Amino acid sequence: MRTSIATVCLSGTLDEKLLAAHAAGFDGVEIFEPDLVASPDSPEAIRGRAAELGLSLDLYQPFRDFEGVGPELLEQNLHRAAAKFALMNRLGIETMLLCSNVATARSGDEQLAAAQLRLLGGVAEQFGVRVAYEALAWGRFVDSYEAAARIVRLADHPRIGLCLDSFHILSKGHNPEAIETIAADRIFFVQMADAPLLSLDVLSWSRHHRLFPGEGAFDLATFMGHLVRTGYDGPVSLEVFNDTFRQSDPIATAVDARRSLRWLEHETAAALGTRAGGRAARMSTEALPEVDPPADINYVELRTGELAELRRLLAQLGFRSHGEHRTKDVELWTQGAARVVLGAPDSAHAQPTVAGVGLSVADPALAARRARELFSPEVPREEAAGEETLVGVRAPDGSEVFFGVAGGAEPKWVGEFRPPDAADAALIDRVDHVNLAQPWQHFDAAVLFFRSVLDLSAEATIEVAAPVGLVRSQVLHSSNGVLRIALNLVPSGAAEDAILPQHIAFATRDALALARTARERGFQPLDIPANYYDDLEARYQIDPDLLAELRELNVMYDRDESGEFLHFYTHPVGTVFLEIVERREGYAGYGALNAPIRLAAQYQHRRNTSRGVDA
């Protein structure tokens, strides 16, 4: 599959955009006209620069408001087009995108539009270029690819073909199946974009909220399947207008974009099965290595400057220390199958944070290969002789995912620490989920990373009110439910005073017993307001004894159609904290209703601490 990206997807100057597309491994780019017009470089210099970077210039875009006009305007439009064709000759670009008329068309007569396109084809021929006609979802008369295809067929000129854009087709709910009725040599170009499902006018939706494939809700693999079956083998290009990507580092965005196309290629191959069907498929769509879901969360790694406080909390919660690693500057704490690697921030982990997640998988080398094929940077790691080899990759936010071997009572690397001290019976069984706060510019990329690299499924996005703004939250889970990662988008305006809710939740079989035992060891949970328990009582007519115990122990409560959820929190230690959860009878959520209370309590705690009230 030949990959391309429109320069409008990326921030910066045209030169910076070309560099980013090259760095991310794209085959080519679409030149978005405003980027060219604003560039201080001549068309010839841009052509040379692209060649130097090994990028083909696949499309010049957009040309607007051409067809369906009166004779005088047609004359002007042909003049405009000739100027652009001359420019394309200087750039060495063969194909120009023509959007269906939104402003100046006076007639929807398809014969008229076709006749005018035929004239345009004649001019294009003089310049040795061609025109890809695209139906915009908000085109004045032409707003469906089927209408555009009819007009192109009527125009019947070798220089006039189609551009198919997944957004314009799927946003209107049009069935992409009829793509298969189009001759491959009439499809001059293909643009792909995903998007969240919004009830917003389609123009605003398109201009602000497009996403890279795999980050939204469109079924793009099916769309691509229809395309492959036509025999199309031209570029598959990303044209994504997105307010966030416009503000973000162009290289990071380009890598995210490139990953999205690799993922789409894989999904398409999977959807097509072994044969493309219909006409002979000429586009190669290669599947990624298939990996099983993780057997187990191998470990979680916490980096914090406040090690003593975290050790105290872990001990109070019943974790046992295995001391320091024999060669590395980290220590290990375990309880049941929950393993916490604890270290101070270092050069590779500058921020106090949940620095990484280890996964036990059937074939670590295969999992790493899949990640690499998805353009994930590898994390360098040194092992001393006899130590287990773990291979790791870096997520968009800088956190690490390491793959270790599944099987056996515990991972081999645990033996690289000393055996733990004796302890009470463990009440914690394993890690329930990991919550990674995402900087605003990495959220969508993180969804795609975890979805594609680890083959997780994305649940619906929810919003949670915090004292500093709305937090967007999305959970991704593995098919066997072992790995659950919650991504939180923290309001960007709140940077100075934000509580980055970076945390690990441990599963217990008895939250109340654990809370009580921990308290006997001196544990002070995050303080939950009395008003919360009064509200619980009003909402649920909850058993008075249970309510009294929840209230006494600062344990929160939720219900869903299948069961109950009991959970409590440690105080935040810097920007990291721990949660203990008990799922009764298959409760499947995360206590979302309680999240605002928790966020407010953490905010209050920080306010109190900074005022020295309970520092």
Q: Which residues bind its own copies (CB under 8 A)?
A: 11-13, 33-34, 36-40, 42-43, 76, 79-80, 83-84, 87, 198-201, 204, 207-208, 243-244, 246-248, 440-441, 463, 465, 467-470, 491-494, 527, 529-532, 534-535, 537-539, 541, 596-597, 600-601, 603-604, 607
CB of 277 to its own copies, least distance (A): 38
Shortest Å distance, C-beta 122 to its own copies = 18
d(CA 560, CA 183): 52
Q: How far is the CB of 358 from its own copies (least distance, A)?
A: 32
In the bound state with its own copies, the residue whose beta carbon lies nearer, of 144 and 604, is 604
Kindly state the smallest distance separating residue 473's Cβ from its own copies, in Å.
15
- Looking at residue 109, the DSSP 8-state letter turns out to be -
SS3 176: helix
H-run or E-run covering 595? helix 595-610
Q: What is the DSSP string of 360-374?
A: EES-HHHHHHHHHHT
Closer Cβ to its own copies, 270 or 593, answer by number: 593
Nearer to its own copies, 205 or 223 (CB): 205
What is Dmax (Cα atoms) for the chain?
91
Q: Which residues contact 216 (CB under 8 A, 6 or more apart)?
A: 194, 195, 196, 197, 210
Q: CA-CA distance, 558 to 564, in Å (whole number)?
A: 6
The whole-angstrom separation of Cα 134 and Cα 88 is 19
* 3-class secondary structure, 336: coil
Which one, 569 or 603, has the nearer CB to its own copies? 603
Beta carbon nearer to its own copies, 32 or 523: 32
Question: Minimum distance from CB of 247 to its own copies (Å)?
Answer: 4
326 vs 607, beta carbon nearer its own copies: 607
Residue 462, SS3 per DSSP: strand
Query: Smallest gap, in angstroms, from Cβ of residue 596 to its own copies?
Result: 6
Least CB distance to its own copies at residue 465 (A): 6
Query: Least separation, in Å, of the C-beta of 368 and its own copies?
Result: 32
Considering just the CA atoms, what is the radius of gyration of the chain in Å? 28
Q: Would you say 104 or 222 has its CB closer to its own copies? A: 104
Tell me the two tokens of residue 226: 């229809």
Contacts of 250 (CB under 8 A, 6+ apart): 10, 11, 12, 16, 17, 19, 20
Distance, in Å, from the CA atom of 549 to the CA atom of 545, rounded to the nearest integer, reads: 6
Q: Least distance to its own copies from the beta carbon of 38, Å?
A: 4
Peptide bond before residue 380 is cis, with ω within 30 degrees of 0: no
* Residue placing its CB nearer to its own copies in the complex, 125 or 527: 527
Residue owning tokens 């002979």: 280
Phi, psi of 59 (to 5 degrees): -155, 140
Give the C-alpha distances (Å, rounded to integers) separating 266 from 44, 54, 240, 358: 37, 24, 20, 25
Please give the backbone phi and psi of residue 295, each rounded to the nearest 5 degrees, phi first.
-75, -20
Q: Which is nearer to its own copies, 41 or 180 (CB)?
A: 41
